[in-house]
Amino acid sequence: MSLPNPAGLISQMAIDLTAYLGKRGISEPRFIGIRTGGVWVAQALLQALGSQAPLGTLDVSFYRDDFSQNGLHPQVRPSELPFEIEGQHLVLIDDVLMSGRTVRAALNELFDYGRPASVTLVCLLDLDAGELPISPDVTGATLSLAPNERVKLTGPTPLALELQDLTTASAAL
């Protein structure tokens, strides 16, 4: 399967996001990327929008629902939100949307900072494999993968998508 080029997707996403926010009457959104891939996408998106807006970064490790299966992520870093959340319109950005659990964790974390006026979800790729009622408002592309396949974003410059095969990946270990 050939994977799309993230740069091409992001310029279209910038156009779609501007239209979406315009339709909603949102003039000063706060941008937040989910660590790590989501932050890269957010940086590229802000650049495509020609925006100098500060970027918040969110590390959802403390909010994940798989602690009892997978434990704590070893490289957790502090979340940094250089603006108020209370009453603000947020644009939450992630790289790959799969089960929706990362976004759920991110929403839980955001609400511990305050009560946002709205949250718009932007994802570079939607793998159409949701396990929760969460779907993006703006998407770069939608892909369907085989059960043994995963997509990984590498970056930050250049951003590239990489297809991983779980069967060979575990054999390599």
**Least distance from other proteins to the Cβ atom of residue 67, Å:** 6
Per the structure block, which two tokens stand in for 63? 């909010």
* C-alpha of 96 from chain center: 6
Under the criterion CB under 8 A, does residue 68 sit at the interface with other proteins?
yes
Q: Which of 43, 79, 102, 139 binds other proteins (CB under 8 A)?
A: 79
Q: Residue 130 in contact with residue 96, Cβ under 8 Å? A: no
Under the criterion CB under 8 A, does residue 50 sit at the interface with other proteins?
no
Task: For residue 113, give the nearest of 32, 3, 41 by alpha carbon.
Answer: 32
Q: Considering beta carbons, is residue 134 or 141 the nearer one to other proteins?
A: 134
Site string for other proteins, 4-43 (x = CB under 8 A): ----------------------------------------
Under the criterion CB under 8 A, does residue 61 sit at the interface with other proteins?
yes
Burial class (CB in 10 A: 0-12, 13-18, 19+), 90: buried
Q: Which of 24, 80, 118, 158 binds other proteins (CB under 8 A)?
A: 80
* Segment interacting with other proteins, rule: CB under 8 A, options 87-95, 109-117, 126-134, 159-167: 109-117
Phi/psi at 7 (5° precision): -60, -45
Per the structure block, which two tokens stand in for 59? 């590390």
